[in-house]
Structure 1
Amino acid sequence: MDFLLDNDLARWAVLLLIFAAVVTIAMIVTNAATQRRGMRSRLRAQTGSRGEAAAAAATGAARLRGDQQRGAWIDIVNELEKRGVNLVSTRDQGLRRKLVAAGYEDPSAPRVFTLIRTIATLGFPILILAYAFISGTNVGLASSYFLAIFAAGLGYVIPILIVQVKADKRQEELLNGFPDALDLMLVCVEAGLGLETAFDRVGQEMYKSHPLLARHFAGVVLELRAGRSREDALRRFADRAGVDEIRAFSTLLIQSQKLGSSVAATLRVYAAEMREKRRMRAEERAHRLPVLLAVPLVGCMLPVMIGVLMVPAVIRAMRTVVPALG
């Protein structure tokens, strides 16, 4: 203990070894639990191999329009899994939905995300402690431990925050262009086009103005042409978009098909409602501007205005009071 207290290098080495041991034990326990769940799921899934093959074929058909290239991250993931490292998350379905909403539609995206999060969780503490050691900063043992825990927490949280921000941005882009797409689809349906042809035409027309929404429409067309039912294609379209308005639109079209009602009348009412919602969102943002501008006005401009107004009076008072006091 005296040697550890006197030698900084030995103290840092012991701290890093303790941290690495804790992380290794946690990863071993997690991998063991994950492998056990995976073994059980494989045993249950042996009877449903045909359904899995059909789902894989459908996933391949949905990716006909994308340039999905195998990158270096996927190669790293495959190599690690060959060596026995399991990167499948226990919450794979929820994570996959978030990644799809953020634009990462590759089947290997959850495994790559787990690898990146693991690297960030282990790398952030090592980088911070290495920087403190190289710069000569005197950090105590307890402070180093809590700093490493804080850095590991940041490395664990930051990747999911980045994915969430990107998903929110894409959903906002879809939501802004959806009323225009409904108007174009209403024109196409009233002109006598079928629903599949209307989706195709709207996707072509909106490719430059709203490319993300156009790709989603093109995915629906590809699934319909590949033989998927209209109800299934619309539900998958809503799941990929992750927007409540698009999910309601898909449900509306499915119900119109089942009940035999007019698709044009349904689209007309829903398009008017979407335009009204977009106008209300714009008004809400406009009404929030005075509240948001109050902070910079009070913090930046108000002190300057007070200074400009009060400084001449203060100078005049000092010229009058100081000679009188003297």
Structure 2
Amino acid sequence: MLRTRTLVPLSLLAVLALTACGGSGSGGGASSARLQGAGATFPAPIYLRWFQDLASKGEVKVNYQSVGSGAGIRQFEAATVDFAASDKPLSDEDAAGIKRGAVQVPMTAGAIAVAYNNPGCELKLTQQQLVGIFEGKITNYSDLGCSDQAIKVVYRSDGSGTTYNFTKSLSAFSPAWASGPGSGKSIKWPIGLGAKGNEGMAASLQQIKGALGYVESSYVRGDLQAAALQNAGGSYAKPTTKEAAEALGSIDLGPNLTGSNPNPKAGYPIVTFTWILLYKSGNGDKLKSLQQAFNYTLSDAAQANAPALGYVSLPANVLQKARAAVASIGE
């Protein structure tokens, strides 16, 4: 069964982050530290859970602003945050341009659902049908075996790692899409209405009858349903944690821990890891706090929270490498 949760508006997510950071800790060491981070909306619910847990223990206090991967990367490049979060890893060229160096740490993973608001309609989409919807060539649910209802496409209007991964999959599904709209954090969509953040996307989908768009799977709730999608092996899967984990198991992250697979042969086909971006050097007196925070999020106890929130716990071999990456950053 697809995990669901109560949607939290983007503005409230920021308030929750500030609330999590506001308590006075009684512990020693890094208890008085305050870290500033910004970035991806995709993992925001689990990040805020982890950061609230840290604050409640009287340890590191983290203010995480859920502003989208693109905005988070820009703040990281400008060195106005202590860390950033992105569903799209930095390219080698972009990473080389970070004066203090960049260490990219996989933190959690999940599925990008094709969510729609049309109760009573059970969508089972081939890869070409999915592309056809976002090309504007398939415009009615009746073309997909459901009753007459116009399809109203919704897309992310902000620079988004979710968009990057979703459009990478569309490009892998269709050479025409790859040579046309293509892939990126922000593209020129052939059709549709824009919404900001996974939170804004989910809200728009809830409000518009017949709407269809893409969101992190834990945002599918209420009248929204998730379509079953065809994978490269020809099977159909929904974005459950089990099916996402099967697909993620086929991804080789490589030596820099930034690999992906936009069209796996097994499991749900649109999945992604999501990364925390840390500075290789220049962390100064924040170093201990950064390592304490992310050693906790990579702990077995914290990772065990992922499935209940609609995410996938990192595999043991990935966790080992991620913990080593956190240990590698310096003052």
| Coarse TM-score class (shorter-chain normalised) | under 0.3
The TM-score, its normalising length taken from structure 2, stands at 0.23
The TM-score, its normalising length taken from structure 1, stands at 0.23
Give the strand-richer structure, 1 or 2: 2
Structure having greater relative contact order (Cα 8 Å, sep ≥ 6): 2
Larger-Rg structure:
1
